[in-house]
Amino acid sequence: MTREEFTAIALSFPGADEGTSYGKPAFKVRGKFFTRIRAEDDSAVLQCVPVDERDLLIEMDPATFHLTDHYRGYPIVLARLATLDPAQARGFLERQWRKLATRAMEKAWDAGR
């Protein structure tokens, strides 16, 4: 997946827009951090991934999923865009989006599917 493809997926969620987080380009929903692409390794920061799931993902697909010490204590996994499946990216992003969206946003999203 390319940066452009990931960007298109991230921005396809209602209320998602581009912004910054800690001075780095990021995507936000309702002004809150949604995701970003790390320039250091071209990896997406995917939230709402419990530690046990994260560890399994890294074990099963280390070419795609990884972690740095900075994210170790959080329910986050890093995913290299070059090998990340777009459907997987959408699934992870939807989890985080639902956490940030209002009930009305969720209802509208679900009704339109």
Query: Partners of 93 in the beta sheet?
Result: none
Confidence (pLDDT) at 95: 96
> pTM to 2 decimals?
0.93
Q: Which CATH number fits domain 3-105: 3.40.50.2000, 3.90.1150.30, 3.90.1150.10, 3.40.720.10?
A: 3.90.1150.30
Confidence (pLDDT) at 105: 93
**Where on the phi/psi map is residue 24: left (φ > 0), alpha (ψ -120 to 50), or beta?**
beta
Give every residue of the chain whose pLDDT is below 50, as ranges.
none
38 class by beta-carbon count within 10 Å (0-12 exposed, 13-18 middle, 19+ buried): middle
